[in-house]
Chain A
């Protein structure tokens, strides 16, 4: 490598380093905006403005899903296994919606601790397995992955 090549290579190195640091700082500063949702714990710790639209992400708490027969509203609790928030929703559900399933709901708080959802998305995890394997895992009492 001659002098000129070494100079160019170090120029590229510095550029990548500088850009890397700059991007890291920007992305770190914007992390709340880049993240798609708040976990229930985050949403309760932070004094979030009521009636502002936001997203909550967590799991549908076990045995918490029920339909209000009068208003036909779907009620369930969204939980990160530390904090649970009651959610009220009218509308269509994705195929993967079920208890213990990861979900992202968008909507707003009603001022009495209920979250009024306008959209529910199912969050899939990275686990792919055939049904028999899943059943075997459940029998052995493996922790739920979803």
Chain B
């Protein structure tokens, strides 16, 4: 545990570990994405009620899951950054925000594109849709707050508190469809999934593909940031020499 965490906390090892991980992650990402897309768009049978319109699930559900997962990860990073003053945690927190916001936006728009033909409306102010919209605004508030604070230390601290306070929204999103009457349906993905296996496997592949994509983006942004911050360190020169 100690040696593993050492690898991720020291900038040099963090960079090198990411470098080793990236090709493997890219490989599995391409595999899961191509299986998910081909099986989801072509081989999966049409739904008995929604016909081929149900295929929107293959982008909507992974995007929604990642919107919440990225936020949760950022909140954990915020706690680590506040309590232990981990530099890497503050970086994970700030570098995750744009892609988290992009996933949330994607979930909202694809949900709307599904809602129009199925429900009969693009949007409704029910508890699930409203709480996800709040999540999107939380991402935007986090980024706006950070860009408004010039000094790095206060920026990391204040934005970390915002993330922790906003985390209360995550269980609300998750349980909104159980606590209140909503137009949005309950979860299809659970231990006993209420989605047929032929439709489920492409969905799981797409969720994996979205998660891996987030990892790929985060690791590369982390690498860029570490290189720049450590630019005067000899290990950065080693990296540059290897590349040229």
Contact = CB atoms under 8 A, between A and B. Distances in A.
- Please say whether the chains A and B touch (CB closer than 8 A): yes
Interface of A: 5, 8-9, 12, 15-16, 19-20, 23, 27, 31, 34-39, 57, 92-97, 104, 119-135, 145-146
A96 B45 contact: no
Contacts of B164: 12, 15-16
B83 A123 contact: no
Name the residue in B48, B167, B172 with the highest tally of chain A Cβ atoms < 10 Å from its Cβ: B48
| Dominant secondary structure at the B interface | loop
Contacts of A9: 79, 83
A39 B180 CA distance: 12
Given A104-B183, A126-B185, A130-B198, A94 B47 contact: no
A19 B118 contact: no
Interface residues of B, number: 40
Q: Which of B46, B83, B117, B185 has the most CB of A within 10 A?
A: B83
A12 B48 contact: no
Interface in B149-174: 164-165, 167-168, 172
Interface stretch (B3-11, B49-57, B211-219): B49-57
Nearest to A31: B180
B17 interface: no
Contacts of B46: 130-131
A36 B119 contact: no
B183 A16 contact: no
Contacts, number: 119
Interface string B66-106: 00000000000001001110000000000000000000000
Given A121-B119, A130-B46, A130-B199, A57 B124 contact: no
8 contacts: A15-B164, A23-B172, A36-B181, A96-B50, A122-B118, A124-B49, A128-B50, A130-B45
B230 to A, nearest CB: 25
B190 to A, nearest CB: 9
B179 A19 contact: no
Contacts of A134: 48
A129 B48 contact: yes
Contacts of B183: 36, 104, 121, 123
Contact of B83 (A12, A20, A128, A132): A12
Question: Ordered nearest first, which 4 A-B pairs have the shortest CB separation?
Answer: A94-B120, A130-B45, A134-B48, A128-B195
A2 to B, nearest CB: 10
A129 B118 contact: no
Nearest to B130: A34
Given A36-B181, A131-B45, A131-B48, A122 B120 contact: yes
Given A16-B167, A95-B118, A129 B83 contact: no
Contacts of A39: 181
Given A36-B182, A93-B120, A126 B187 contact: yes
A128 B165 contact: no
Nearest to B128: A36
